[in-house]
Structure 1
């Protein structure tokens, strides 16, 4: 027989016409109820319903008793809309890991969860208000919180259903959410832990602030987009010179900034003591230049040419240079002095100042930058609060009160230009605007409102990273004991922990868990009383965090404190603190454990959930909440672009489910390199559909060929032909591959390899070779029984190995054989006998298959030339080198090459190569044979198996059959005709 296409259950080539001779019914054709087409969009919901009826999850729980525990703690997605493809990727990866652990003998606990508080949900509710022209500020806070809770609950249910439709298995009836009363109570309790251990404090410092959303933002809530900013050079005239030579008389320090709106908050200028500075005299300027000839300016010597070009200075010369250290003690005036900005601007040393860009001098606004704040704090500089929560200057800001900072570039520039005109007219040192331009650069935006953000100093609640609790040091030490997959992601998280500032946990919003603390109105000290905290936690557990808003403060303060003496804090806690606390109200449940074995999220969570969970856990318990971190990449379209509705390139998992089926989406995940960014699109999904078809047809062919198989038919390993032993050896290799992936969580490449095994090793080779035996040998044939024994093992292995990924298809392929009252998801991965693993046999068959490829190449050449039709019309003569004849001994080459006749001719061994090139070629091939000769086989064609043999007709009772087929037919060893 011939033909390597397993896309359909068919008889050997030519058997369609054999029925005319009455022999079709004697052929063991494949027979199965497992259909060729999966019809997944219709079939998958039916299977979900069947699993529920069977109580598969309950049976899994019962079977887990006494097994070693595996806990993957679920990072909570946000409950504010339909799932996107990134959600699907992440949950499918988790599901594959959980299912594979379960089938590898673990008791798996997976509690899915949701993030339900915070600005994204508030923003959605406020959008509804805006559409209805309602004023959010006029709505009672408890009513608003109730609407947020209802919004989150609605989407939590929607997303839960969508995750289940993807085939994700979990404890859905016991899911967690951050807005559960018990969760809110535990979050408040975790805040209390930091309060009581002294790491929680209220301080004034710059934080990322959204003027649109009127709240502080975490770094994880920021995304960067191109933004056009006004840039200005500004001159600050010196008023005090620390040098004895009065070298700075009549000189102005020049700074460059991309945030003109921060000039009103300027309180200092930073320099680097290691930079060489120069005093430059302007000799000639362009007509539009603001600097006048004769002006003297100070800047880094290495940046003179760039600054002069930008500022319209056509000619200049250096009066003198000085080391940066000489500027210590120098004082300048604010360029708007005389207009409400009558304060000195000291020059302060700072290592972060460089001469790479700008002027080598940095304007310092302590209210609006991390570095600025640090310099100001170190030198006792004022940190003015000049910008309100909506981004407008407060009323006390001279010249600019009420102006929004993003509209301040023009008025600030105009005021500075006026100052420069006055300085030039009076002959004073330059003061004010030197030059104005614009720049397009990457700028932080809120990922919700898509609006640009600012740094703004406001009183906020912080958790200290470096106080007596040493959270930063503990976190870095804890990470040493964490396994990272991939390993290179370790550096990302470590560097972020090393460089992060104190954790700002307060948000000026309404929907969330309040930072439930009291502050003494007279002293400003926060109340640290465990009894007060316990009363708060108990109330939240019974009534939700709403209790903080509708209770008299005396309820929590008790008799020990007068409520009139205390301010009740109504800031809510950062949602990253909430999600970072989930280990405290999930992993402490009965049957779970802390720390979790695994956290698995996208690479953006190194600055988000991975980090917040680490800091929260280390700060309260001293250890990391996870043993292993697995990171997946982002999903892009087929062109490598980020998905967006405007580009029309969004792939929604719901659409894939409805058109192709969830198994296709799951296969895409596991066929991708999830350590890197992934691509998806219609063509990619089409390719996955083709890969799926091949896997499905492998399962279908197995099922068809196993029709009627019983354990009594099985052949012991010792009695099996070598080819069957080789297949079993290959199975042990894949069993080890699966086992390693289970233990290491490194699944990249596993399922592509398994697909390759199915298509190359099985369909295109083993099945092709064994079709003749399976279809035409008698039932009692040892070879046929051995092959069916191996097919039985293959079916059990492939269905269970594929079950974590193709959850629906694998179950269909299991129940098609074993009945619908069971499920593949109740099975374990097969334990394969160690004696099946035979590396030497693997090497031998690698050589045999290489020889076979040489033979099939020549056969194809004969078919193309018209010498033969099918391969069964061929006879081959294979020349074998005498010193390597043993490598291919013991093989039926007619069977292996799927030809009718084959012979071997021993030829002399190859002589040593005469030159280097020939040596390389000979070494590369290192095969035991030369090129075979293909001729037309002698004899007649058997009407049952189509082999061409001289023996056809020797049994006169069956004149058109070979002896093997005549014997089978004569003894009546037939099977029921195939349904096709």
Structure 2
């Protein structure tokens, strides 16, 4: 490490290069030669010896934020920052955090970054609150995401392709790509500043992890939560496997499908039914069509004949059913009606057909069939119960003679699942491909899955088998058109349209799912919904409504969980059984399997390592050996087992120690995990231990493209995360995301300009607040020829109101940060942090520049510098969990002047706890509210009043188009209460200075103001309840005097109700305005400004403008306050010259050095050592400004 002197020499060289570069860019004119000379002069003063005392070097005016972040990353690496932090916290109380495992088969996107940033902020915060926080990354390694990638790479389209390749080869290919993008993940996660352990990560494919999953399952099996059943499940033809009911909701899309109406011919004679027409009900349903359809005397009937008699109808009626899945029609075994619905039997004249349809669906059916009501004749109106049991002719004869279906099937059933919001009121049932179809057909004896009495002419890939010859070897969606063509030829297809509807797609292969009856293994969850709700009630969620509504509703109606997958790359389900499932053994561990099988040294639990292992039948040696069932676990079962499997519980961790790390104190993921990881964690934990697996949870929303659409790599509708990180920096992206609606579980439309806005509104102001401090410290050090070191006495023994205010603000902020972070409300923290930086930069620093520069004496200078240091230091540490890069940069600078930091190589390399703790802002504990310095709420309120007055004054200047540089005569502050102006004298000079006015007057005369009252619904809603409507009218009708009285007394009674404090909001509106005076009000105060001008004000304005010109010249020439340069001005106009001489005290104070006024043109022309000569115009007169060498 360089000593101070050595660093100073480097700094001098850098300054010379920078100055030379700047001059070369500006060109080679005579004027530019002067600038070159001035730049070197600027450097010489540093070489004169004062550089020894310069602490802050190279604090650039235009920082490269991204470059500085990379330097911080390098610094963290050099001190092994994350591991060092863990060592420092090893003996502290643990804060338990679970990190949900992502798949590494794709690059991290903004959703991953958002969740990761939230986790990082919370874990960093808790570390800096004195906890030991283990942060281990995890990887989801099994399941469809991995397998799908391999199948794309190897052109695998069917199950047979995998078997031909060999499960062993297939699984090893899967293993080889599990961490395909892990390096990119590590790079991105580290780049966003997230501290997490990748070296000791957990992987769901690790043998230890898989063995714990076996243990979890075996425990559930022992407790009778596991069963095998034949159920209709969402099924992915592309992946050849069922998926769970909660996975079903992960990927719905609007998609076109066929919309057809098919007729089934009744074989039974239609029964004689006689019911009342219920005319009023029919009128309401059919509207204007009623009079035509229900007219018993039709024109085509002879006098005296009823409609029924005159109809020349076919022998058998046709019942109409609607479907969007024509491919299921060959498997039709029943029709279903609702026995409580009203149905119509109608004759259509033009087609000469008698059809049956639900009355509530008649209008839709007519529209689909393009039938006119004039062509219809009503034959019967009756309840659905009369259709029950009638038989019909099957559309296809493939299964007529199978399983005695000619007797068991092809009849009309009744059930309440038939609704009136779609279709014809009659549902076609293919029990293998619909959950309700399956239930109704099973309950009515049409099928008997236990005896294999059902039909399923589809193979695992979704292709028709030879059982349906017409569409043999066709994919189900390809078969739609063939089937429709056949039905049309058979005169059974009455309508052939298309519908666009929301339909579930496989979340991995992105292909349409089907519903299919399939044998599978289930966890019995439906019997434990009360326990799930009870345990969920012990958890704390942000946002709360996600827990109370979305998640609560989901778990209250939880279905049994299908945990088996007919796949290959996954944790095998540890069940060994005979073919008839009469003898079943559940294996709970590797040692258990070795014991049962006699096979030793089992080191891998994947299918190709254990599928060949057989175990003895418990019934005896005469019975066939048991083989493992072919299914593997749903990967959600693995991730839901993560709390146990990541530590290899119960094999490597005893129950007593496990209880110390379970449940988690905190987890966080996206909103989609309410039906994913959050759900599976809770289910497994509830069934195993009857407790929630986590205490606190943050649920974030989705990050969408700027147009509100899903981010798409194909469409390239969003900027690459690394592009954003390398353009704006990680801190900016972090603040943008965690200060967005996404932290409230709402969807965020990602806007690049939003990240840029964070740079401008926070990152740069924070940086420049430190830069200003460093400049003033350098000024002090050069003047005093000694180092500046922070001393607490200048903060605590200090009566300056602005110092007290900013320190009270940082104390108040500290209190708020702890309160909100303990409540996991990140969205409440960031706005306050941003508000504080506004107070620091635009109020405290702006109003205390003269004090820091020593204008008011050394004591004032040290008080303001030490207060600024203390404030910056506290704020930097508070901000560290949120913006780890800029806080590290500023901390490393601030520690140079801190009481515990002396820049020596020995101390910087010290490895004692103190030395280590000092190395990074992220090793420090967060500040607590200082008990020695009470928050002064009166001063905070007083400064808020001052800010309100100044802001209103600025608005008036802008409204009158009067520049802030022009002095004004007087400002009057108006408020009806005398107490409002208590201690106003302490802030008068700040108001004068900021608004550039000569006098500030306070007045209680509010006759020029109209006061109005507005109800504060936020407080009155709970307070008044049903009376709010009455009282709000009374409040709005209060006259100006009553409102003024309320403001004075703080209390009023209206209709017997006492209102006080913030119950009523007061608005003030000025009632006059004239040429020289302007007035403005906000909700608390009124400001009146006299814009009348005179010669004194004009002189002051000209003097200020002159100083501004000189200051700009200094900046353009890279001069500082200590540059050895004399400043001269020649003003030819005598009146203007005398006016400027009268303002010389102000000019001297502003420039902090002498400005020599040349009395004549001869003096100007004879001036020697000119370095820069520039003419300006002041008050319409030419003025020469000259800089000369000393």
TM-score by length of 2: 0.71
What's 2:153 paired with? Answer: 128
What's 1:193 paired with? Answer: 219
Given the alignment, which residue of 78, 99, 107 partners 1:74?
Answer: 99
* Structure 2: distance between partners of 1:537 and 1:112: 34
Q: 1:170-185 to 2 correspondence within 5 Å?
A: 170-185=196-211
Structure 2 SS opposite 1:493: helix
Given the alignment, which residue of 785, 799, 815 partners 1:720?
Answer: 799
Q: CA shift at 1:549, angstroms?
A: 3.2
Which of 257-266 and 300-309 deviates more? 300-309
Tell whether the 8 Å contact from 1:29 to 1:705 is kept in structure 2 after alignment: no
* Structure 2: distance between partners of 1:398 and 1:439: 28
Structure 1 SS opposite 2:498: strand
Q: CA shift at 1:227, angstroms?
A: 2.1
What's 2:32 paired with? Answer: none
Which of 479-488 and 326-335 deviates more? 326-335
What's 1:767 paired with? Answer: 845
Q: 1:347-362 to 2 correspondence within 5 Å?
A: 347-362=412-427
* Structure 1: distance between partners of 2:119 and 2:138: 13
Q: Taking structure 1 as reference, are residues 85 and 32 closer, same or farther at Cα in structure 2, changes over 3 Å only?
A: same
What's 1:220 paired with? Answer: 247
What's 1:419 paired with? Answer: 490
What's 1:484 paired with? Answer: 541
What's 2:317 paired with? Answer: 251
Aligned CA RMSD, in angstroms, stands at 4.1
* Structure 2: distance between partners of 1:734 and 1:915: 34
What's 2:1182 paired with? Answer: none
What's 1:167 paired with? Answer: 193
Q: CA shift at 1:960, angstroms?
A: 7.5
Q: Taking structure 1 as reference, are residues 253 and 119 closer, same or farther at Cα in structure 2, changes over 3 Å only?
A: same
Q: Taking structure 1 as reference, are residues 81 and 849 closer, same or farther at Cα in structure 2, changes over 3 Å only?
A: same
What's 2:476 paired with? Answer: 405
Given the alignment, which residue of 1088, 1092, 1106 partners 1:930?
Answer: 1088
What's 2:927 paired with? Answer: 830
For the pair shown, the structure with the greater C-alpha radius of gyration is 2
Structure 2 SS opposite 1:457: strand
* Structure 1: distance between partners of 2:191 and 2:1150: 55
* Structure 2: distance between partners of 1:856 and 1:366: 76
- Tell me if 1:281 matches 2:347: yes
- Tell me if 1:473 matches 2:530: yes
What's 2:262 paired with? Answer: 234
* Structure 1: distance between partners of 2:1149 and 2:255: 82
What's 1:441 paired with? Answer: 501
Structure 1 SS opposite 2:765: helix
- Tell me if 1:842 matches 2:940: yes
- Tell me if 1:346 matches 2:411: yes
- Tell me if 1:388 matches 2:459: yes
Q: Taking structure 1 as reference, are residues 525 and 928 closer, same or farther at Cα in structure 2, changes over 3 Å only?
A: same
* Structure 2: distance between partners of 1:892 and 1:607: 57
Deviations 1:204-245 (A, max 9, x none): 122222222222234426512232211211222333579565
Q: Taking structure 1 as reference, are residues 33 and 564 closer, same or farther at Cα in structure 2, changes over 3 Å only?
A: farther
Q: CA shift at 1:249, angstroms?
A: 7.7
Tell whether the 8 Å contact from 1:33 to 1:816 is kept in structure 2 after alignment: no
- Tell me if 1:370 matches 2:435: yes
What's 1:910 paired with? Answer: 1006
* Structure 2: distance between partners of 1:963 and 1:497: 70
Structure 2 SS opposite 1:446: coil
Tell whether the 8 Å contact from 1:238 to 1:249 is kept in structure 2 after alignment: no
Structure 2 SS opposite 1:69: coil
Tell me which of the two structures has the higher relative contact order, counting C-alpha pairs closer than 8 angstroms and 6 or more residues apart. Answer: 1
Q: CA shift at 1:574, angstroms?
A: 0.8
Q: 1:808-823 to 2 correspondence within 5 Å?
A: 808-818=885-895, 822-823=919-920
- Tell me if 1:853 matches 2:919: no
Tell whether the 8 Å contact from 1:95 to 1:804 is kept in structure 2 after alignment: yes
* Structure 2: distance between partners of 1:61 and 1:464: 41
Tell whether the 8 Å contact from 2:333 to 2:430 is kept in structure 1 after alignment: yes
Q: CA shift at 1:877, angstroms?
A: 5.1
- Tell me if 1:113 matches 2:138: yes
Which of 450-459 and 880-889 deviates more? 880-889
Tell whether the 8 Å contact from 1:602 to 1:633 is kept in structure 2 after alignment: yes
What's 2:365 paired with? Answer: 307
Tell whether the 8 Å contact from 1:254 to 1:298 is kept in structure 2 after alignment: yes
Segments of structure 1 that go 5 or more residues without pairing to the other structure are: 1-15, 285-291, 421-431, 968-980
* Structure 1: distance between partners of 2:270 and 2:595: 58
Tell whether the 8 Å contact from 2:419 to 2:425 is kept in structure 1 after alignment: yes
* Structure 2: distance between partners of 1:541 and 1:158: 35
Deviations 1:706-739 (A, max 9, x none): 5554243632546322222222222233223211
* Structure 2: distance between partners of 1:229 and 1:388: 22
Q: Taking structure 1 as reference, are residues 482 and 663 closer, same or farther at Cα in structure 2, changes over 3 Å only?
A: same
Tell whether the 8 Å contact from 1:277 to 1:324 is kept in structure 2 after alignment: yes
* Structure 2: distance between partners of 1:350 and 1:870: 84
Q: 1:952-963 to 2 correspondence within 5 Å?
A: 961=1148
* Structure 2: distance between partners of 1:463 and 1:930: 74
* Structure 2: distance between partners of 1:514 and 1:547: 6
Q: CA shift at 1:351, angstroms?
A: 2.0
* Structure 2: distance between partners of 1:318 and 1:906: 89
Given the alignment, which residue of 495, 500, 511 partners 2:569?
Answer: 511
Q: 1:206-217 to 2 correspondence within 5 Å?
A: 206-217=232-243
Q: 1:582-601 to 2 correspondence within 5 Å?
A: 582-586=642-646, 593-601=661-669
* Structure 1: distance between partners of 2:668 and 2:231: 33
What's 1:3 paired with? Answer: none
TM-score by length of 1: 0.85
Q: CA shift at 1:813, angstroms?
A: 0.7
Which of 554-563 and 320-329 deviates more? 554-563
Q: CA shift at 1:39, angstroms?
A: 3.0
Q: Taking structure 1 as reference, are residues 380 and 527 closer, same or farther at Cα in structure 2, changes over 3 Å only?
A: farther
- Tell me if 1:579 matches 2:639: yes
* Structure 2: distance between partners of 1:963 and 1:699: 23
* Structure 2: distance between partners of 1:629 and 1:662: 24
What's 2:833 paired with? Answer: 754
* Structure 1: distance between partners of 2:816 and 2:507: 41
Structure 2 SS opposite 1:898: helix
Tell whether the 8 Å contact from 2:613 to 2:627 is kept in structure 1 after alignment: no
Q: CA shift at 1:385, angstroms?
A: 1.9
Structure 1 SS opposite 2:791: helix
* Structure 1: distance between partners of 2:737 and 2:528: 37
Given the alignment, which residue of 696, 714, 721 partners 2:767?
Answer: 696
Q: CA shift at 1:636, angstroms?
A: 1.2
Tell whether the 8 Å contact from 2:617 to 2:626 is kept in structure 1 after alignment: no
Structure 1 SS opposite 2:199: helix
- Tell me if 1:83 matches 2:112: no
Q: Taking structure 1 as reference, are residues 921 and 158 closer, same or farther at Cα in structure 2, changes over 3 Å only?
A: closer
Structure 2 SS opposite 1:204: strand
Tell whether the 8 Å contact from 1:460 to 1:506 is kept in structure 2 after alignment: yes
Tell whether the 8 Å contact from 2:1010 to 2:1068 is kept in structure 1 after alignment: no
* Structure 2: distance between partners of 1:892 and 1:357: 72
Segments of structure 2 that go 5 or more residues without pairing to the other structure are: 1-37, 276-313, 448-453, 779-786, 897-907, 910-918, 1013-1038, 1042-1066, 1070-1080, 1112-1137, 1155-1190
* Structure 2: distance between partners of 1:39 and 1:563: 77
Q: Taking structure 1 as reference, are residues 512 and 912 closer, same or farther at Cα in structure 2, changes over 3 Å only?
A: same
Tell whether the 8 Å contact from 2:739 to 2:826 is kept in structure 1 after alignment: no
What's 1:801 paired with? Answer: 878
Q: CA shift at 1:130, angstroms?
A: 2.8
Q: Taking structure 1 as reference, are residues 116 and 307 closer, same or farther at Cα in structure 2, changes over 3 Å only?
A: same
What's 1:271 paired with? Answer: 337
Q: Taking structure 1 as reference, are residues 297 and 568 closer, same or farther at Cα in structure 2, changes over 3 Å only?
A: same
Structure 1 SS opposite 2:75: helix
Structure 2 SS opposite 1:736: helix
Structure 1 SS opposite 2:141: coil
What's 2:376 paired with? Answer: 316
Q: CA shift at 1:500, angstroms?
A: 4.3
- Tell me if 1:889 matches 2:984: yes
Q: Taking structure 1 as reference, are residues 394 and 620 closer, same or farther at Cα in structure 2, changes over 3 Å only?
A: farther
